[in-house]
Chains A and B, each alone.
Chain A
Protein backbone atom coordinates (compact mmCIF):
# COMPACT_ATOMS: atom_id res chain seq x y z
CA UNK A 1 0.00 0.00 0.00
CA UNK A 2 1.66 3.16 -1.21
CA UNK A 3 0.90 6.67 -0.07
CA UNK A 4 -1.80 8.16 -2.21
CA UNK A 5 -1.67 11.50 -0.47
CA UNK A 6 1.30 13.19 1.15
CA UNK A 7 0.76 16.38 3.05
CA UNK A 8 4.00 18.00 4.20
CA UNK A 9 4.37 21.06 6.33
CA UNK A 10 1.21 22.67 5.04
CA UNK A 11 0.44 26.04 6.54
CA UNK A 12 -2.37 28.46 5.82
CA UNK A 13 -2.83 31.86 7.33
CA UNK A 14 -5.79 34.16 7.09
CA UNK A 15 -4.37 37.49 8.06
CA UNK A 16 -3.12 37.05 11.58
CA UNK A 17 -4.88 33.77 12.16
CA UNK A 18 -3.02 30.56 11.44
CA UNK A 19 -5.76 28.19 10.37
CA UNK A 20 -3.51 25.29 9.49
CA UNK A 21 -0.10 25.11 11.08
CA UNK A 22 2.62 22.94 9.68
CA UNK A 23 0.46 19.88 9.23
CA UNK A 24 2.02 16.72 7.84
CA UNK A 25 0.57 13.31 7.32
CA UNK A 26 0.23 10.76 4.59
CA UNK A 27 -2.60 8.54 3.54
CA UNK A 28 -2.09 5.08 2.17
CA UNK A 29 -4.22 4.01 -0.73
CA UNK A 30 -7.34 2.28 0.47
CA UNK A 31 -7.32 3.65 4.01
CA UNK A 32 -10.28 5.04 5.80
CA UNK A 33 -8.93 7.77 8.01
CA UNK A 34 -10.71 10.29 10.14
CA UNK A 35 -9.96 13.87 10.99
CA UNK A 36 -10.94 14.88 14.47
CA UNK A 37 -10.91 18.26 16.08
CA UNK A 38 -13.03 20.83 17.82
CA UNK A 39 -14.59 23.70 15.95
CA UNK A 40 -12.05 25.99 14.45
CA UNK A 41 -9.35 23.35 14.44
CA UNK A 42 -8.79 23.82 10.75
CA UNK A 43 -10.44 20.69 9.41
CA UNK A 44 -12.52 22.27 6.69
CA UNK A 45 -9.67 24.59 5.80
CA UNK A 46 -7.57 21.52 5.27
CA UNK A 47 -10.16 20.14 2.89
CA UNK A 48 -10.25 23.43 1.05
CA UNK A 49 -6.50 23.23 0.69
CA UNK A 50 -6.64 19.67 -0.54
CA UNK A 51 -9.26 20.48 -3.15
CA UNK A 52 -7.47 23.56 -4.37
CA UNK A 53 -10.05 26.11 -3.36
CA UNK A 54 -7.51 28.03 -1.37
CA UNK A 55 -3.76 28.06 -1.93
CA UNK A 56 -1.43 26.90 0.81
CA UNK A 57 1.05 29.44 2.10
CA UNK A 58 3.71 26.87 2.81
CA UNK A 59 4.27 23.18 2.42
CA UNK A 60 3.36 20.72 -0.27
CA UNK A 61 0.47 18.46 -1.11
CA UNK A 62 1.27 15.54 -3.32
CA UNK A 63 -1.50 13.35 -4.68
CA UNK A 64 -0.58 10.20 -6.54
CA UNK A 65 2.85 11.60 -7.04
CA UNK A 66 1.67 14.90 -8.44
CA UNK A 67 2.07 18.25 -6.79
CA UNK A 68 -1.26 19.94 -6.14
CA UNK A 69 -0.09 23.46 -5.41
CA UNK A 70 -1.30 25.88 -8.02
CA UNK A 71 -3.58 23.37 -9.67
CA UNK A 72 -7.09 24.62 -10.28
CA UNK A 73 -9.99 22.99 -8.43
CA UNK A 74 -11.43 21.57 -11.64
CA UNK A 75 -8.26 19.78 -12.48
CA UNK A 76 -7.97 18.43 -8.98
CA UNK A 77 -11.40 16.87 -9.30
CA UNK A 78 -10.39 15.38 -12.60
CA UNK A 79 -7.23 14.03 -11.02
CA UNK A 80 -9.40 12.11 -8.63
CA UNK A 81 -10.30 13.96 -5.47
CA UNK A 82 -14.00 14.48 -4.67
CA UNK A 83 -15.56 16.02 -1.60
CA UNK A 84 -18.87 16.48 0.10
CA UNK A 85 -19.91 19.37 2.29
CA UNK A 86 -21.24 19.82 5.78
CA UNK A 87 -24.54 21.16 4.53
CA UNK A 88 -26.26 19.12 1.90
CA UNK A 89 -26.51 21.16 -1.24
CA UNK A 90 -28.28 19.27 -3.97
CA UNK A 91 -28.87 20.88 -7.33
CA UNK A 92 -32.28 22.36 -6.79
CA UNK A 93 -34.83 21.88 -9.53
CA UNK A 94 -33.20 18.69 -10.78
CA UNK A 95 -33.93 15.06 -10.13
CA UNK A 96 -31.73 12.64 -8.23
CA UNK A 97 -30.57 11.06 -11.46
CA UNK A 98 -29.70 14.40 -12.96
CA UNK A 99 -27.83 15.40 -9.83
CA UNK A 100 -25.66 12.32 -10.02
CA UNK A 101 -25.11 12.69 -13.75
CA UNK A 102 -23.83 16.22 -13.31
CA UNK A 103 -21.43 14.92 -10.71
CA UNK A 104 -19.82 12.80 -13.37
CA UNK A 105 -19.67 15.36 -16.15
CA UNK A 106 -16.24 16.58 -15.18
CA UNK A 107 -14.80 13.23 -16.21
CA UNK A 108 -14.95 11.61 -19.62
CA UNK A 109 -17.91 9.32 -20.15
CA UNK A 110 -17.45 5.92 -18.49
CA UNK A 111 -17.53 2.85 -20.76
CA UNK A 112 -20.97 1.85 -19.51
CA UNK A 113 -22.42 5.21 -20.46
CA UNK A 114 -23.26 8.09 -18.16
CA UNK A 115 -26.84 7.04 -17.54
CA UNK A 116 -25.97 3.49 -16.57
CA UNK A 117 -23.13 4.75 -14.43
CA UNK A 118 -25.45 7.10 -12.59
CA UNK A 119 -28.08 4.41 -12.11
CA UNK A 120 -25.47 2.09 -10.69
CA UNK A 121 -24.27 4.67 -8.20
CA UNK A 122 -27.79 5.50 -7.15
CA UNK A 123 -28.35 1.83 -6.46
CA UNK A 124 -25.05 1.63 -4.61
CA UNK A 125 -26.07 4.33 -2.15
CA UNK A 126 -29.47 2.80 -1.66
CA UNK A 127 -31.59 5.31 -3.49
CA UNK A 128 -32.95 2.98 -6.14
CA UNK A 129 -36.42 3.89 -7.22
CA UNK A 130 -35.94 7.51 -6.34
CA UNK A 131 -34.11 8.52 -9.48
CA UNK A 132 -36.79 10.92 -10.60
CA UNK A 133 -37.53 12.58 -7.31
CA UNK A 134 -36.72 16.27 -7.12
CA UNK A 135 -33.54 16.30 -5.09
CA UNK A 136 -34.52 19.07 -2.76
CA UNK A 137 -37.68 17.28 -1.65
CA UNK A 138 -35.93 14.24 -0.27
CA UNK A 139 -35.41 13.50 3.37
CA UNK A 140 -32.12 14.79 4.70
CA UNK A 141 -30.71 11.32 5.15
CA UNK A 142 -31.41 10.57 1.51
CA UNK A 143 -29.84 13.85 0.47
CA UNK A 144 -26.68 12.75 2.23
CA UNK A 145 -26.68 9.57 0.18
CA UNK A 146 -27.21 11.65 -2.93
CA UNK A 147 -24.22 13.79 -2.03
CA UNK A 148 -22.10 10.69 -1.79
CA UNK A 149 -23.39 9.30 -5.06
CA UNK A 150 -22.71 12.61 -6.72
CA UNK A 151 -19.18 12.69 -5.37
CA UNK A 152 -18.62 9.12 -6.51
CA UNK A 153 -19.85 9.98 -10.00
CA UNK A 154 -16.57 11.73 -10.65
CA UNK A 155 -14.77 8.38 -10.18
CA UNK A 156 -12.54 9.66 -7.43
CA UNK A 157 -9.53 7.88 -5.97
CA UNK A 158 -9.80 9.93 -2.79
CA UNK A 159 -13.10 10.82 -1.22
CA UNK A 160 -13.25 13.63 1.31
CA UNK A 161 -16.34 13.57 3.49
CA UNK A 162 -17.11 16.63 5.58
CA UNK A 163 -19.23 15.76 8.59
CA UNK A 164 -21.47 13.30 6.76
CA UNK A 165 -23.36 12.47 9.92
CA UNK A 166 -24.33 16.04 10.73
CA UNK A 167 -28.05 16.45 11.06
CA UNK A 168 -28.85 12.75 11.12
CA UNK A 169 -30.57 10.69 13.77
CA UNK A 170 -28.80 7.73 15.33
CA UNK A 171 -30.44 5.14 13.11
CA UNK A 172 -29.55 7.10 10.01
CA UNK A 173 -26.01 7.53 11.22
CA UNK A 174 -25.60 3.78 11.61
CA UNK A 175 -27.00 3.22 8.13
CA UNK A 176 -24.80 5.83 6.53
CA UNK A 177 -21.80 4.50 8.34
CA UNK A 178 -22.53 1.04 7.03
CA UNK A 179 -22.91 2.49 3.55
CA UNK A 180 -19.56 4.21 3.71
CA UNK A 181 -17.94 1.04 4.94
CA UNK A 182 -19.60 -0.89 2.13
CA UNK A 183 -18.50 1.52 -0.54
CA UNK A 184 -14.98 1.46 0.81
CA UNK A 185 -14.97 -2.30 0.79
CA UNK A 186 -16.42 -2.53 -2.71
CA UNK A 187 -14.27 0.01 -4.40
CA UNK A 188 -11.05 0.23 -2.41
CA UNK A 189 -11.46 3.96 -2.42
CA UNK A 190 -9.36 6.01 -0.02
CA UNK A 191 -11.67 7.85 2.32
CA UNK A 192 -10.97 10.77 4.59
CA UNK A 193 -13.69 11.71 6.98
CA UNK A 194 -14.26 14.73 9.20
CA UNK A 195 -16.61 14.12 12.04
CA UNK A 196 -17.66 15.25 15.48
CA UNK A 197 -19.75 12.27 16.35
CA UNK A 198 -17.01 10.14 17.88
CA UNK A 199 -18.97 6.95 18.43
CA UNK A 200 -19.72 5.98 14.84
CA UNK A 201 -16.61 7.64 13.65
CA UNK A 202 -14.37 5.46 15.76
CA UNK A 203 -16.00 2.33 14.49
CA UNK A 204 -15.64 3.38 10.89
CA UNK A 205 -12.08 4.54 10.57
CA UNK A 206 -8.88 2.66 11.16
CA UNK A 207 -6.85 5.77 11.84
CA UNK A 208 -7.49 9.17 13.35
CA UNK A 209 -5.70 12.43 12.69
CA UNK A 210 -6.44 14.91 15.42
CA UNK A 211 -6.15 18.64 14.91
CA UNK A 212 -6.38 21.47 17.37
CA UNK A 213 -5.90 25.13 16.53
CA UNK A 214 -4.55 24.15 13.16
CA UNK A 215 -1.90 21.86 14.52
CA UNK A 216 -1.70 18.14 14.18
CA UNK A 217 -1.70 16.88 17.74
CA UNK A 218 -2.08 13.15 17.22
CA UNK A 219 -2.11 10.58 14.47
CA UNK A 220 -3.00 7.11 15.66
CA UNK A 221 -5.51 4.32 15.79
CA UNK A 222 -8.87 5.17 17.36
CA UNK A 223 -8.36 3.23 20.57
CA UNK A 224 -5.25 5.15 21.47
CA UNK A 225 -6.59 8.51 20.33
CA UNK A 226 -9.34 8.66 22.94
CA UNK A 227 -6.78 8.43 25.70
CA UNK A 228 -4.18 10.64 24.07
CA UNK A 229 -3.44 13.44 26.53
CA UNK A 230 -3.47 16.30 24.03
CA UNK A 231 -6.69 15.13 22.45
CA UNK A 232 -8.36 14.88 25.81
CA UNK A 233 -7.09 18.32 26.72
CA UNK A 234 -8.38 19.78 23.47
CA UNK A 235 -11.81 18.40 24.09
CA UNK A 236 -12.16 18.97 27.78
CA UNK A 237 -11.02 22.49 27.22
CA UNK A 238 -13.54 23.07 24.49
CA UNK A 239 -16.51 21.24 23.05
CA UNK A 240 -17.03 17.79 24.42
CA UNK A 241 -17.80 15.62 21.41
CA UNK A 242 -20.69 13.24 21.51
CA UNK A 243 -19.22 9.95 22.58
CA UNK A 244 -22.52 8.20 22.56
CA UNK A 245 -24.65 8.50 19.51
CA UNK A 246 -27.76 7.83 21.54
Chain B
Protein backbone atom coordinates (compact mmCIF):
# COMPACT_ATOMS: atom_id res chain seq x y z
CA UNK B 1 0.00 0.00 0.00
CA UNK B 2 2.74 2.39 0.96
CA UNK B 3 4.46 1.70 -2.28
CA UNK B 4 1.41 2.49 -4.29
CA UNK B 5 0.80 5.73 -2.38
CA UNK B 6 4.42 6.75 -3.00
CA UNK B 7 4.07 6.13 -6.68
CA UNK B 8 0.92 8.19 -6.85
CA UNK B 9 2.60 11.13 -5.13
CA UNK B 10 5.54 11.01 -7.53
CA UNK B 11 3.22 10.82 -10.53
CA UNK B 12 1.21 13.80 -9.32
CA UNK B 13 4.41 15.78 -8.84
CA UNK B 14 5.51 14.86 -12.35
CA UNK B 15 2.22 16.13 -13.73
CA UNK B 16 3.22 19.68 -12.84
CA UNK B 17 6.12 19.38 -15.25
CA UNK B 18 3.77 18.72 -18.13
CA UNK B 19 2.15 22.12 -18.03
CA UNK B 20 4.57 23.90 -20.20
CA UNK B 21 7.95 24.49 -21.50
CA UNK B 22 10.42 27.17 -20.61
CA UNK B 23 10.77 28.57 -24.06
CA UNK B 24 7.19 28.74 -25.09
CA UNK B 25 6.40 31.68 -27.33
CA UNK B 26 3.01 31.51 -28.95
CA UNK B 27 3.15 32.06 -32.67
CA UNK B 28 0.78 35.03 -32.54
CA UNK B 29 3.06 36.72 -30.03
CA UNK B 30 6.06 36.51 -32.29
CA UNK B 31 7.11 39.37 -34.48
CA UNK B 32 8.51 37.87 -37.63
CA UNK B 33 11.24 40.05 -39.06
CA UNK B 34 11.44 39.58 -42.81
CA UNK B 35 13.93 42.21 -43.81
CA UNK B 36 16.65 44.42 -42.41
CA UNK B 37 18.02 47.63 -43.89
CA UNK B 38 21.24 49.09 -42.55
CA UNK B 39 22.29 52.72 -42.90
CA UNK B 40 25.03 54.78 -41.36
CA UNK B 41 23.91 57.21 -38.72
CA UNK B 42 24.73 60.86 -39.12
CA UNK B 43 24.03 61.73 -35.50
CA UNK B 44 26.48 61.90 -32.67
CA UNK B 45 26.15 59.05 -30.24
CA UNK B 46 23.18 59.87 -28.11
CA UNK B 47 21.01 57.90 -25.80
CA UNK B 48 17.74 57.75 -27.64
CA UNK B 49 15.30 60.37 -26.50
CA UNK B 50 17.23 61.73 -23.56
CA UNK B 51 19.99 63.51 -25.37
CA UNK B 52 22.61 62.70 -22.78
CA UNK B 53 26.02 61.76 -24.10
CA UNK B 54 26.60 58.08 -24.00
CA UNK B 55 29.31 57.00 -21.67
CA UNK B 56 29.39 53.38 -22.63
CA UNK B 57 31.77 51.83 -25.09
CA UNK B 58 31.50 53.39 -28.49
CA UNK B 59 32.02 51.48 -31.68
CA UNK B 60 33.67 52.72 -34.83
CA UNK B 61 30.37 53.60 -36.38
CA UNK B 62 26.75 54.09 -35.52
CA UNK B 63 24.06 52.51 -37.61
CA UNK B 64 20.44 53.21 -38.28
CA UNK B 65 18.76 49.89 -38.75
CA UNK B 66 15.25 49.38 -40.07
CA UNK B 67 13.49 46.12 -39.39
CA UNK B 68 10.49 45.10 -41.41
CA UNK B 69 7.94 43.01 -39.53
CA UNK B 70 5.06 41.00 -40.86
CA UNK B 71 1.68 42.11 -39.57
CA UNK B 72 -0.32 38.92 -40.04
CA UNK B 73 -3.65 40.74 -39.60
CA UNK B 74 -2.99 42.64 -42.80
CA UNK B 75 -2.20 39.46 -44.69
CA UNK B 76 -5.57 37.92 -44.00
CA UNK B 77 -8.39 38.12 -46.51
CA UNK B 78 -7.95 39.05 -50.12
CA UNK B 79 -6.60 42.49 -49.63
CA UNK B 80 -10.08 43.76 -48.74
CA UNK B 81 -9.08 45.23 -45.40
CA UNK B 82 -7.21 48.45 -45.04
CA UNK B 83 -4.76 47.05 -42.52
CA UNK B 84 -1.14 47.23 -43.60
CA UNK B 85 0.52 43.87 -43.92
CA UNK B 86 3.85 45.10 -42.65
CA UNK B 87 5.37 47.68 -40.40
CA UNK B 88 8.86 49.06 -40.11
CA UNK B 89 10.73 49.89 -36.96
CA UNK B 90 13.92 51.90 -37.02
CA UNK B 91 16.44 51.94 -34.23
CA UNK B 92 19.93 53.29 -33.90
CA UNK B 93 22.98 51.84 -32.26
CA UNK B 94 26.65 50.98 -32.57
CA UNK B 95 26.03 47.32 -33.30
CA UNK B 96 23.36 45.18 -34.86
CA UNK B 97 22.56 43.39 -31.63
CA UNK B 98 22.11 46.70 -29.85
CA UNK B 99 19.57 47.84 -32.40
CA UNK B 100 17.86 44.47 -32.31
CA UNK B 101 17.48 44.62 -28.57
CA UNK B 102 16.25 48.20 -28.70
CA UNK B 103 13.39 46.80 -30.76
CA UNK B 104 12.12 45.12 -27.65
CA UNK B 105 11.31 48.54 -26.23
CA UNK B 106 9.20 49.38 -29.26
CA UNK B 107 7.16 46.33 -30.10
CA UNK B 108 4.80 44.12 -28.17
CA UNK B 109 5.85 41.08 -30.16
CA UNK B 110 9.10 39.30 -29.53
CA UNK B 111 11.22 39.82 -32.62
CA UNK B 112 12.11 36.56 -34.30
CA UNK B 113 14.87 36.58 -36.89
CA UNK B 114 14.57 33.11 -38.34
CA UNK B 115 12.71 34.30 -41.41
CA UNK B 116 14.81 37.22 -42.61
CA UNK B 117 14.67 37.14 -46.38
CA UNK B 118 16.73 40.14 -47.38
CA UNK B 119 19.43 42.21 -45.84
CA UNK B 120 19.91 45.58 -47.49
CA UNK B 121 23.08 47.47 -46.76
CA UNK B 122 23.49 51.07 -47.79
CA UNK B 123 26.39 52.11 -49.98
CA UNK B 124 27.80 54.26 -47.18
CA UNK B 125 28.22 51.24 -44.95
CA UNK B 126 29.87 49.35 -47.79
CA UNK B 127 32.12 52.25 -48.77
CA UNK B 128 33.38 52.60 -45.22
CA UNK B 129 34.39 48.95 -45.28
CA UNK B 130 31.98 47.86 -42.56
CA UNK B 131 30.41 44.93 -44.40
CA UNK B 132 31.92 42.27 -42.18
CA UNK B 133 30.96 44.23 -39.07
CA UNK B 134 27.32 44.46 -39.99
CA UNK B 135 26.84 40.89 -41.17
CA UNK B 136 28.63 39.30 -38.20
CA UNK B 137 25.46 39.28 -36.10
CA UNK B 138 23.41 37.78 -38.91
CA UNK B 139 25.91 34.95 -39.27
CA UNK B 140 26.61 34.37 -35.61
CA UNK B 141 23.12 34.28 -34.16
CA UNK B 142 21.65 30.80 -34.08
CA UNK B 143 18.22 31.98 -35.21
CA UNK B 144 19.59 33.26 -38.48
CA UNK B 145 19.77 31.24 -41.62
CA UNK B 146 22.45 31.40 -44.21
CA UNK B 147 19.92 31.84 -46.99
CA UNK B 148 19.26 35.54 -46.38
CA UNK B 149 19.93 37.51 -49.57
CA UNK B 150 22.28 40.47 -49.34
CA UNK B 151 22.00 43.58 -51.50
CA UNK B 152 23.61 46.97 -51.59
CA UNK B 153 21.32 49.98 -51.79
CA UNK B 154 22.13 53.02 -53.81
CA UNK B 155 21.38 55.89 -51.47
CA UNK B 156 19.54 55.14 -48.26
CA UNK B 157 18.70 51.52 -47.57
CA UNK B 158 15.73 52.54 -45.47
CA UNK B 159 13.94 54.06 -48.46
CA UNK B 160 13.60 50.65 -50.05
CA UNK B 161 11.40 49.49 -47.20
CA UNK B 162 9.05 52.47 -47.36
CA UNK B 163 8.02 51.57 -50.86
CA UNK B 164 4.47 50.29 -51.30
CA UNK B 165 4.58 47.50 -53.86
CA UNK B 166 1.66 47.23 -56.24
CA UNK B 167 1.22 43.46 -56.24
CA UNK B 168 2.92 41.88 -53.29
CA UNK B 169 1.83 42.75 -49.80
CA UNK B 170 5.27 43.39 -48.40
CA UNK B 171 8.20 45.32 -49.85
CA UNK B 172 10.61 42.58 -48.81
CA UNK B 173 8.68 39.88 -50.63
CA UNK B 174 8.50 42.15 -53.67
CA UNK B 175 12.25 42.73 -53.65
CA UNK B 176 12.96 39.09 -53.19
CA UNK B 177 10.85 38.14 -56.18
CA UNK B 178 12.40 40.85 -58.34
CA UNK B 179 15.90 39.74 -57.40
CA UNK B 180 15.11 36.25 -58.53
CA UNK B 181 14.19 37.33 -62.05
CA UNK B 182 17.65 36.44 -63.25
CA UNK B 183 16.09 34.06 -65.76
CA UNK B 184 14.67 37.02 -67.60
CA UNK B 185 17.42 39.59 -67.52
CA UNK B 186 21.15 39.77 -67.13
CA UNK B 187 20.98 43.20 -65.57
CA UNK B 188 20.48 41.68 -62.13
CA UNK B 189 23.51 40.27 -60.42
CA UNK B 190 22.60 36.77 -59.20
CA UNK B 191 21.42 36.81 -55.57
CA UNK B 192 24.17 36.47 -52.99
CA UNK B 193 23.21 34.55 -49.88
CA UNK B 194 24.67 35.67 -46.61
CA UNK B 195 26.36 32.29 -46.34
CA UNK B 196 28.12 32.95 -49.65
CA UNK B 197 29.11 36.37 -48.38
CA UNK B 198 30.68 34.70 -45.34
CA UNK B 199 32.75 32.57 -47.70
CA UNK B 200 33.77 35.61 -49.74
CA UNK B 201 34.73 37.59 -46.65
CA UNK B 202 36.87 34.73 -45.39
CA UNK B 203 38.57 34.21 -48.72
CA UNK B 204 39.48 37.87 -49.01
CA UNK B 205 38.79 37.78 -52.70
CA UNK B 206 36.95 40.64 -54.34
CA UNK B 207 33.35 40.21 -55.33
CA UNK B 208 30.21 41.98 -56.43
CA UNK B 209 26.82 42.27 -54.78
CA UNK B 210 23.47 43.07 -56.39
CA UNK B 211 22.43 46.70 -56.35
CA UNK B 212 19.00 47.91 -55.34
CA UNK B 213 17.74 51.42 -55.96
CA UNK B 214 14.78 52.53 -53.91
CA UNK B 215 12.47 55.45 -54.17
CA UNK B 216 8.98 55.95 -52.81
CA UNK B 217 7.36 55.12 -56.15
CA UNK B 218 9.66 52.47 -57.49
CA UNK B 219 12.22 49.93 -56.47
CA UNK B 220 14.64 48.56 -58.96
CA UNK B 221 17.09 45.70 -58.66
CA UNK B 222 19.74 46.08 -61.32
CA UNK B 223 23.45 46.69 -61.52
CA UNK B 224 26.01 45.67 -58.97
CA UNK B 225 28.38 46.98 -56.34
CA UNK B 226 32.04 46.02 -56.54
CA UNK B 227 33.81 45.27 -53.30
CA UNK B 228 37.53 44.92 -52.77
CA UNK B 229 38.16 41.70 -50.89
CA UNK B 230 41.05 42.62 -48.62
CA UNK B 231 39.62 45.84 -47.29
CA UNK B 232 35.96 44.90 -47.76
CA UNK B 233 35.45 48.40 -49.05
CA UNK B 234 33.08 49.07 -51.86
CA UNK B 235 35.00 50.67 -54.71
CA UNK B 236 32.17 51.56 -57.05
CA UNK B 237 29.18 50.56 -59.08
CA UNK B 238 28.78 48.62 -62.24
CA UNK B 239 25.88 49.90 -64.31
CA UNK B 240 23.18 47.69 -65.72
CA UNK B 241 24.90 46.91 -68.98
CA UNK B 242 28.23 46.42 -67.25
CA UNK B 243 26.52 43.96 -64.93
CA UNK B 244 25.44 41.94 -67.97
CA UNK B 245 29.10 41.95 -68.97
CA UNK B 246 30.23 40.82 -65.54
CA UNK B 247 27.59 38.09 -65.48
CA UNK B 248 28.77 36.92 -68.90
CA UNK B 249 32.39 36.76 -67.76
CA UNK B 250 31.43 34.88 -64.64
CA UNK B 251 29.22 32.57 -66.68
CA UNK B 252 26.38 33.15 -64.29
CA UNK B 253 23.86 34.48 -66.71
CA UNK B 254 20.68 32.46 -66.87
CA UNK B 255 18.64 34.61 -69.15
CA UNK B 256 18.82 37.99 -70.77
CA UNK B 257 18.72 39.90 -73.94
CA UNK B 258 21.22 41.14 -76.42
CA UNK B 259 20.40 43.29 -79.40
CA UNK B 260 22.50 43.18 -82.50
CA UNK B 261 22.29 45.15 -85.69
CA UNK B 262 21.86 43.20 -88.89
CA UNK B 263 22.35 45.56 -91.80
CA UNK B 264 20.06 48.47 -90.88
CA UNK B 265 17.74 47.02 -88.29
CA UNK B 266 17.74 45.12 -85.04
CA UNK B 267 17.60 41.48 -84.12
CA UNK B 268 17.12 40.39 -80.53
CA UNK B 269 18.78 37.39 -79.03
CA UNK B 270 17.82 35.79 -75.75
CA UNK B 271 20.27 33.74 -73.75
CA UNK B 272 19.28 30.41 -72.44
CA UNK B 273 22.35 29.41 -70.58
CA UNK B 274 25.90 30.47 -70.68
CA UNK B 275 29.08 28.61 -70.15
CA UNK B 276 32.29 30.39 -69.44
CA UNK B 277 35.70 28.85 -69.36
CA UNK B 278 38.82 30.56 -68.16
CA UNK B 279 42.29 29.64 -69.21
CA UNK B 280 45.35 31.09 -67.60
CA UNK B 281 48.92 31.22 -68.78
CA UNK B 282 50.98 31.69 -65.65
CA UNK B 283 54.47 31.42 -67.10
CA UNK B 284 55.15 35.04 -66.20
CA UNK B 285 53.51 36.17 -62.99
CA UNK B 286 54.20 39.78 -63.84
CA UNK B 287 51.95 39.35 -66.83
CA UNK B 288 49.51 36.51 -66.40
CA UNK B 289 47.49 35.93 -69.54
CA UNK B 290 43.86 35.02 -69.16
CA UNK B 291 41.55 33.94 -71.91
CA UNK B 292 37.90 34.07 -71.02
CA UNK B 293 35.70 32.20 -73.47
CA UNK B 294 32.03 32.93 -73.14
CA UNK B 295 29.73 30.46 -74.84
CA UNK B 296 26.04 31.04 -74.94
CA UNK B 297 23.04 29.55 -76.54
CA UNK B 298 19.65 31.04 -77.11
CA UNK B 299 16.99 31.89 -79.60
CA UNK B 300 15.60 34.80 -81.53
CA UNK B 301 12.52 36.18 -79.79
CA UNK B 302 12.16 39.23 -82.03
CA UNK B 303 13.52 40.06 -85.43
CA UNK B 304 12.90 43.62 -86.57
CA UNK B 305 15.09 43.04 -89.56
CA UNK B 306 13.40 40.63 -91.89
CA UNK B 307 15.86 37.98 -92.92
CA UNK B 308 15.53 34.40 -93.99
CA UNK B 309 16.02 32.46 -90.78
CA UNK B 310 16.05 29.21 -92.71
CA UNK B 311 19.31 30.16 -94.35
CA UNK B 312 22.37 28.83 -92.63
CA UNK B 313 24.44 31.77 -93.87
CA UNK B 314 22.16 34.25 -92.15
CA UNK B 315 22.21 32.35 -88.90
CA UNK B 316 26.00 32.07 -88.88
CA UNK B 317 26.29 35.78 -89.58
CA UNK B 318 23.94 36.65 -86.71
CA UNK B 319 25.81 34.31 -84.38
CA UNK B 320 29.03 36.07 -85.22
CA UNK B 321 27.52 39.45 -84.50
CA UNK B 322 26.09 38.21 -81.22
CA UNK B 323 29.56 37.03 -80.26
CA UNK B 324 30.98 40.44 -81.06
CA UNK B 325 28.28 42.16 -79.08
CA UNK B 326 28.95 39.90 -76.09
CA UNK B 327 32.63 40.78 -76.22
CA UNK B 328 31.75 44.48 -76.44
CA UNK B 329 29.47 44.34 -73.40
CA UNK B 330 31.91 42.22 -71.42
CA UNK B 331 34.89 44.42 -72.25
CA UNK B 332 33.01 47.47 -70.99
CA UNK B 333 32.69 45.80 -67.62
CA UNK B 334 36.20 44.43 -67.84
CA UNK B 335 37.70 47.84 -68.56
CA UNK B 336 36.04 49.31 -65.54
CA UNK B 337 37.18 46.48 -63.27
CA UNK B 338 40.61 45.98 -64.76
CA UNK B 339 41.70 49.52 -65.58
CA UNK B 340 39.61 51.79 -63.39
CA UNK B 341 38.87 49.91 -60.15
CA UNK B 342 41.76 47.44 -60.47
CA UNK B 343 39.63 45.00 -58.53
CA UNK B 344 39.03 41.41 -59.54
CA UNK B 345 35.33 40.76 -59.13
CA UNK B 346 35.38 38.27 -61.99
CA UNK B 347 36.93 35.54 -59.91
CA UNK B 348 40.19 35.18 -61.85
CA UNK B 349 42.08 34.98 -58.56
CA UNK B 350 39.81 32.18 -57.49
CA UNK B 351 40.54 30.46 -60.79
CA UNK B 352 44.26 30.68 -60.05
CA UNK B 353 43.66 29.24 -56.59
CA UNK B 354 41.66 26.30 -57.87
CA UNK B 355 43.71 25.57 -60.98
CA UNK B 356 47.18 26.92 -60.25
CA UNK B 357 47.43 26.77 -56.46
CA UNK B 358 51.22 27.06 -56.41
CA UNK B 359 51.20 30.31 -58.34
CA UNK B 360 48.38 31.60 -56.21
CA UNK B 361 50.30 30.93 -53.01
CA UNK B 362 53.03 33.26 -54.26
CA UNK B 363 50.83 36.13 -55.33
CA UNK B 364 47.70 35.90 -53.21
CA UNK B 365 48.62 38.81 -50.95
CA UNK B 366 49.34 41.06 -53.90
CA UNK B 367 46.59 40.02 -56.23
CA UNK B 368 44.33 43.03 -56.57
CA UNK B 369 45.95 45.06 -53.86
CA UNK B 370 49.56 46.11 -53.24
CA UNK B 371 51.60 45.07 -56.27
CA UNK B 372 48.31 44.31 -58.00
CA UNK B 373 49.22 41.47 -60.32
CA UNK B 374 45.62 41.57 -61.49
CA UNK B 375 46.05 45.00 -63.04
CA UNK B 376 49.27 43.82 -64.68
CA UNK B 377 47.65 40.79 -66.24
CA UNK B 378 46.37 40.61 -69.78
CA UNK B 379 42.83 39.49 -70.30
CA UNK B 380 41.48 38.40 -73.61
CA UNK B 381 37.80 37.92 -74.25
CA UNK B 382 36.29 35.50 -76.70
CA UNK B 383 32.66 34.76 -77.31
CA UNK B 384 30.69 32.20 -79.19
CA UNK B 385 26.94 32.07 -79.59
CA UNK B 386 24.65 29.39 -80.86
CA UNK B 387 21.23 30.36 -82.13
CA UNK B 388 19.12 27.33 -81.39
CA UNK B 389 15.98 28.51 -83.19
CA UNK B 390 14.23 31.57 -84.51
CA UNK B 391 10.98 31.27 -82.66
CA UNK B 392 7.89 29.69 -84.17
CA UNK B 393 7.78 31.68 -87.40
CA UNK B 394 10.30 32.46 -90.10
CA UNK B 395 9.25 35.92 -91.33
CA UNK B 396 6.65 38.42 -90.22
CA UNK B 397 6.70 40.31 -93.50
CA UNK B 398 8.13 39.59 -96.96
CA UNK B 399 11.71 40.61 -97.51
CA UNK B 400 11.75 43.99 -99.21
CA UNK B 401 14.16 44.25 -102.06
Pair from one complex: no
B residues near A (Cβ < 8 Å) are none
A residues near B (Cβ < 8 Å) are none
